[in-house]
Structures are given as structure tokens and as C-alpha cells.
Amino acid sequence: MSVKSTISHISRRGVLLGGAAAVAASAGLRSRPAYAAPDKVKVQFMYPVGVSGDINKLVSTMISKFNAAHEKIEVEAIYAGSYDNTEQKVITALGVGDPPATWLPINSALQTFLGLDALADVTDKAKKTDIYQDFIPGFLETAVSDGKLYGLPFQPSTPVLYFNADAFKAAGIAKPPVTWDELLEVSKALTVRENGELKRWGLTIGGGWHDWIFECFCRQNALVPWTKDKVLFDKPEAVDALEFWVKLVKAGVMPPASTWQGSANDFMAGRTAMLYHSTGSLTNLRTSSPFKVDVAFMPKNKTFGACQGGGPIMIAKKQSDAAIEASWTFAKWMTSTDVQSQWGRDTGYLAVRKSSWETPEMLAYLKEVPQAKVALEQSAYAGAFLQVPGYHKVREYLKSALDRTLAGEIKPDAALKEAADNSNREIQRLLRRRS
């Protein structure tokens, strides 16, 4: 017994020593604390990578340019994963009361961050500049709630209709479909079956984000399927849109399910002749397809309609006035005419300023890649995407409703009613908790 007790003393001491060593080691390895020189305001910028592996290099180049041009401000760019990862990282930092100065979420997260009381209101600052005049209104609107501006749109995208121009030519179709009816007809003409075995779909709607594309279809039926505190998926316009999707599936021209990456791969492999996908995919689809890729407006029903992915640069509320001012200077610079023109050409995102589209470089680019212009023209009909509290869950409810309907498990109206009820209950729960 005595042996036992001595040894356990030793091991206990060992543990303590080990602990002390670990703390000492961590203190030694600790990176330098985040103090900047006293005259410099340090601004963190957390951003996701949506479209290209080179985005972090593009962003770092932009940041070093900004830092070189601004003596009093030092911006640190922090890559934060996907949109969801970025949101998690920012919310975690907000949770411990230490948010980054600026970040770039998807625009749907606006109400989420407002719910956390995290955003600086920049309406007055913006009114002193040409922002309200020069920004494309549909883009600016994605950062507005109750008439107040909570950020500057930086990288908007919308879904567009991609089509295989070679397949169109071979089928003798002169121009892309303009209405839903034409879309159905063209899809039928482009679907190829040999001995009952499918060789090519006429049309694929990129899955995973099909709720985003579904909102576009609702908007084409003249319905914005949400307000800031509820969703309207059960309105007749939405049901009609989903019935149209069912019609496409029943006609055998569209697969009932797909994935976001898989649908792009199918398009590049010629397994679908048309594809609803993000403008952000333009460069990838154009350079990776062995045929000519063209782009058209999403066909209209009552009207043209689209809604936006991508997001605005948001500024944290809980920081010093100097830091907010520095963040604002940074956000303004990132959305200035030339920077946006360059960013749009490098990535495929849509430049947010009217003046950016008139720069000589942009005009030359549009001559070379006229497809890029289509999304801009379509954005005249575009609005924000599902800006409701708890949009993550709402998206899942809607996607599940769409999937089950297309799989033939449930009728469109019942599915959308259920999704709307579940979503509204979730939104109400969040709103109650907020108040």
C-alpha cells in the first residue's frame, strides 16, 4: 500500500508539472497579440470562397492594395470557408463578444444577424455618397431592412439558364426559350432517349440550391414568397410554379432530383442540354465544357424574375466609432467602381455599381464574353433571397417539400402548405425568443 501511495504522489506531481509545462509551452508558442501600432485602426474581414480557388489570392491582392492606399487602416483578410462556415465563425465570435469588424455572409443571413443585434446601420453614411444613385437598385435592396441599410453588396449572383449551343443547333432550335411554355417544348425537343434509355435530359435544375431557383420561379409568377417575418410558400402562385416543375418531370424531360455539383458535371458531360445554375458558374462551365456554352434569361411566366445569392459586406455594431468608420471606408473601397469592375471580371460575380459596367475594361470583357451581360440585364428583375430569421431551417423545409413533390410522394399544394406552416412556426419561435 505504501508503494502505491508514493507512486500516486509522484504521478500527481508529474501531472502538475506536465500541466505547467503545457501552459508555458502554449504561452511561448502564442502568436503575437492583436495590437496594431497605436495610430492604425485594425479591421478584420472574414470572407467565404464561393466560386474559385484563386479568390483568396484575389482578395489578398485587393487587401494589400487597400492597405497601401490607407495609412491609418490595416485590414486583415481571413478566409472562413463556405458561406455557412463563415456564418458559424462570425456567430461564434459574436457569441463571445468579440466579432470581426467586417464580414461577408450570404444576403439571406441579414435577418439572422439583425436578430443578434450585430449590424451597424450605415444608412446615413451611405446617403452622403453616391451609393443610392450608383448601386444597381436590385443589389442594394438585398442589404436593406425596414428602409435601413446594413451593408454594401459586394458579390451578387443570380441563377441563369445555361444551354448547350451545339445541342440547340443540332436540334434545329434557333433561340433559347423565353416563356415557361417554350421551356417545356424546347426541353421535350432536346431530351434524347434511345430504346427507352435516357441519353440526355432536356433540362436540369441544379439541386441543393433548387429552393433558390424555386424562389425565382415564384417571382416569375409575380410573387415574392416571403416577408421579413413569414413565408408565403402556400400562395397559389407558388403552388402553380411547383406544378410546372412536376409537369416537367412527368413529361420525362427533367430529372426529379440532382445535386449542385453533379448537375454542373452533367451539363459539362452533355447529359443535360439546359441547366439552371448560378452566374458564378459561368467561367467554370465555359472553360470546362467541350462544346459552346451560352446563357439566357430564366424564362418568364407572368413576368421575368430572379433572386440573388452572394452577399454584402456587413459591419459589426459593437465596436468603437473609429473602427466602424474604418470598416466603412473599407467596405466603400471594396465596392468602388474600379475594384468592382475588376472583381466581376475575375470571378464572374456581378459588379454592383452601374459605373463599373461602363469602365473600358468591362466593355472590352463583355465584347469577349457577351454571356456575362445576360445576368446583369436579368438583375433588373432580381430581388433578395429568403431574408427571414432562421433561413437555414426554412430552406431545409422548402427543399424537402420540393424533393418529395418531384419524387411523387405528395401533392404540390399539400407539400408547400406543410413547408410554409413549419417555416412560419420556426420563424415565430425565433421572433419570440428575440423579444
Partner 1 sequence: MATLQDPIELSAPATSRGTLLALRTALRRNWLHFVLLPLMLFWISPLAWIIITSLKSRTEVFDPNAGILPAVLQWGNYPAAMAVAPFGTYLINSVLATGGILVCELITITLAAYAFARLNFPGKNILFTLFLLQIMFPIYATFLTNFVTVRELGILNSLPALIVPFVASGYGTFMLRQAFRQVPTELADAARLDGCGHLGILWHVYLPLVKPTLIAFSIIAVVTHWNDYMWPLLVTNSESVRTLPIGLGLLAKSDSGADWTRLMAATVVVVSPLLLFFVIFQRRFVDSFMHAGLK
Provide the binding-site residues for partner 1, judged by CB under 8 A.
3-4, 6-8, 10-11, 15, 18, 22, 25-26, 29-31, 44, 48-57, 76, 78-83, 85, 88-89, 92, 95-96, 98, 157, 260-261, 264-266, 268-271, 277-278, 280-285, 287-290, 309-310, 348
Smallest separation (angstroms) from partner 1 to the CB of 159: 11
Q: Decide whether 55 or 118 has the Cβ nearer to partner 1.
A: 55
Minimum distance from CB of 2 to partner 1 (Å)?
11
284 or 336: whose CB is closer to partner 1? 284
CB of 95 to partner 1, least distance (A): 6
Least separation in angstroms between CB 387 and partner 1? 19
Closer by beta carbon to partner 1, 223 or else 298: 298
* Cα separation, 37 vs 325, whole angstroms: 18
- What is d(CA 205, CA 255) in angstroms, rounded to the nearest whole number? 8
In angstroms, give the least distance from the CB of 96 to partner 1.
6
Whose Cβ is closer to partner 1: residue 240's or residue 294's? Answer: 294
Q: Which is nearer to partner 1, 22 or 36 (CB)?
A: 22
Q: Which is nearer to partner 1, 301 or 371 (CB)?
A: 371
Minimum Å gap between C-beta 227 and partner 1 is: 26
CA distance 312 to 102: 10
Return the number of the residue (4 or 128) whose C-beta is nearest partner 1. 4
Helix pair 360-368, 371-378: axis angle to 10 deg:
110
Residue 331, by phi and psi: left (phi above 0), alpha (psi -120 to 50) or beta?
Answer: alpha
Q: Could you tell me the smallest distance in angstroms from the CB atom of residue 360 to partner 1?
A: 27
Of 79 and 365, nearer to partner 1 (C-beta) is 79
Would you say 38 or 290 has its CB closer to partner 1? 290
Kindly report the number of other CB atoms within 10 A of residue 418's CB atom. 17
Minimum CB distance to partner 1 smaller for 309 or for 412: 309
What is the nearest approach in angstroms of partner 1 to the Cβ of residue 216? 16
Query: Residue 247 CB, nearest distance to partner 1 (Å)?
Result: 27
Nearest approach in angstroms of CB 399 to partner 1 is 16
